[in-house]
Structure 1
């Protein structure tokens, strides 16, 4: 016997208007400006510059601590004369070469590590051996092997980049989910195509972190190498500029060189790496 439940009559419920809800106020101009990250960072730099100037005036010894204004004058003079810019160009030329070589070598090693057991053993053994070894400690050996030239600096730069990048990249590859790996295998991806199309996009946050760490290590290794061992191939870079002015007791120029080192680090971080993250990680929802 079929059941025929009674039909419920339709009805409407009249709701009172929502009049007591608080209305969100529009942000003021100051609040909108405060939402800008570049403005907050600029204020931090301005506060640090003021503290620096106050400390220098209190110290009252230009040889030990020149003020921010005095260092700014030395920086502008170095840029106008072209001396400082030429030193920066020499250092960046060597740095980019060593950085790119380190990236290529790190990706070759990690690709082998995710493909073969021998590659995994090789990567774990080499990183355990050489990652704790300071790059600057290898410079005397590289000078013995390659002589006083660009090749010596490239050797230590590659060492400073490859191990941190390889460790971060391999850790990112290990964190790729099995589901994504199965998708790649179902499409018949093997070897380098599997690494390029599946592992690298999935492990991109770790890879970008490794690239940042490798860049920082390479930059400070290059400056330290030029400070300790001077010019390479008869050409002195930014570290040599700092070292030479320290010998001649031009402390304001020494600080100007250090400021350029800091500014280049800030530009690379906030322009190049931020651009990469904005167009990849944040765009793909992999980073907030």
Structure 2
């Protein structure tokens, strides 16, 4: 696919997806005020599944592939993320730390498929790890070591889901996510019943108000259906190298929305940690494009 710049309309669509995915972390925090985290995640994937599953054809992939993706993303990524965000990490930092899935994905691909890790990726990882080190040195009641560890595990599960999804290139990603939710919701309900208990489930459902159910609906409709539909459509129209850098805006929106709506403080150490992680992410995403442009402009040796 030849390189082409984003049109104004498509650029605004990509920006809208990043805004939805970034502000989603604040929406999660609102929903957790009433709902236990595993129940909240289960409801989110239920609404992502129904009724969309009746309108989207099942992607032509093995059931075991859908099951692996659904378990890793549902019970793994979001189950752990919601548990952490209940009381152990701020939404802004969660939106930043979970982006380390990029480096976990690279590591898993290297170990499972033999992909070569390139020097710029190592440098990018070291910058991101330095940022996590800064966060670890400033853990407190708002962001605990447990919360940081849970979000890192969530990022690892996200990376595992990426590896599973990459084994089936060319599928309709929206349909893939919707059908994968068939294997996300049931285990989350089972885990909620086992670890949160029926009294907590009952109380959460009884006390859930319009704002809480709006948060659940936002997770399914905006974050999943709108987000993946538009993102998949953009990837079908433009090279991945044109679209992928937009994802760097997710933690920007996440930290900004948390500071604006939840008054999450943005101390110097937090901004420094964000700068290190974001620089690592930028290096990982943008260096190949820079190297390709530089190579194209370098005249051949005489």
Q: TM-score with structure 1 length normalisation?
A: 0.26
| Rg (Cα) greater in structure | 1
Greater RCO (CA < 8 Å, at least 6 residues apart)? 2
TM-score by length of 2: 0.26
Write 1 or 2 for the structure with the bigger share of helix: 2
